[in-house]
Amino acid sequence: MQDHNTTGQDYARREHFRYTGPIFDFHAHVTTTSEAEKPDGPVGGHGSEGRTRAARLMLEVGKEFGIVRTLSMCAANDIAPLREAVGDGLLFNAMLNKKPDESDDVAFANLDAFLEAGIVAVKLWSAPRGHERGLTVDAPWRIECLKRARAAGIRNVMVHVGDPDIWWTRAYADTAKFGTKPDQYVPFRRMMELFPDMTWIGAHMGGDPEHPDRLQKLLEEYPQLYLDTSATKWQVREVSRHPGAVKTLVEAFPDRFFFGTDLVTRHSLTREHYESRYWCQRTLWETEWQGDAPIGDADYVAGDGEPEKPFLRGVGLSADTLDKVMWGNAAKLLGLKRPL
């Protein structure tokens, strides 16, 4: 059985879904692809030389699950061919990155290309494993990029800060090098205070689904902060451990969450791979379904009293909250009309 379906789940079984309206996927990586791409390597950036088959397949599957619009992160030169291939189903989020040996001007030129292509948000990927490459949240060149983006009318900033708790027992065990998980939020807070007039989106449940109490504190302290539900394996693993606490959090701040998947288009991925992520995300947030998680998860370690294999326990958000999380909050932020 493949990683995207370790339990033989029939992804056509969707009668447990409760939400019937349109869905906006606020976090995905829809790109052009190439046969030369490695299965786990960088994606996209092929521009007019790339293929759009995988993007069209992913969005076709998404439509079957109610996804009508998707916010994508991709290279600037991918935007035009993707727009031509899929129309207005995609909006775009600019990745503000550069290599350590590149000048700041490279980052500024990259931002200019994104602005010219017509973006609605910018993204700061700042996981601990990127810090050695200068990809800290508050790097001076990123601060300057945000100033320029703001001057151009961009007001939405997505941030990947932190990573799963379990990684601090493995990849990040050297805290002298990587810092602790709470350490990651010090520069993030600084940036939200430097740019209080911008909307901040904490990717992957703010990078801390393990601790709803910490997320509550962040949401209380920073009214301009929102969170997305993306990174399916991570959310299924951790949210399923305390669905009640997560439901209480989201219901307390129903206007501050966006549905997202973190799906990535790759040349070799199958229809069922995309189905698995959409199915799990919808099942997790809108239902009270319980059972073995169908997606393989190498980061799952059973705690005391937990099943030997990964499990999924649905949160079962209320109808009013689902309407906001699935569509309303994104539509309000981005000025979108509800589809007929």
pLDDT digits (tens, 9 = 90+) for 204-251: 999 999 999 999 999 999 999 999 999 999 999 999 999 999 999 999
pLDDT score, position 109: 98
Q: Is the dihedral of CA 195, 197, 203, 206 positive or negative?
A: positive
Give bridge partners of residue 227 from the DSSP assignment: 202, 257
pLDDT score, position 38: 82
Which residues in the chain show pLDDT less than 50? 1
Strands 257-258 and 263-264: unpaired
Structurally, what CATH architecture does the domain formed by 23-334 represent? Answer: Alpha-Beta Barrel (3.20)
Phi, psi of 257 (to 5 degrees): -125, 145
Residue among 8, 3, 12, 19 at smallest CA distance from 282: 19
Residue among 215, 156, 140 at smallest CA distance from 181: 215
pLDDT score, position 47: 86
Rounded distance, CA 217 to CA 173, Å? Answer: 26
Cβ neighbours around 314 below 10 Å, total: 23
pTM of the predicted model as reported, rounded to 2 decimal places: 0.97
pLDDT score, position 51: 93
- Ramachandran quadrant class, 230 (left: phi over 0; alpha: psi -120 to 50; beta: rest): beta
pLDDT score, position 215: 98
pLDDT score, position 232: 97
Write the DSSP string, 300-323. Answer: ----TT--SS-EEE-----HHHHH
Reading the block at residue 70, the tokens are 């998707």
pLDDT score, position 37: 85
pLDDT score, position 42: 82
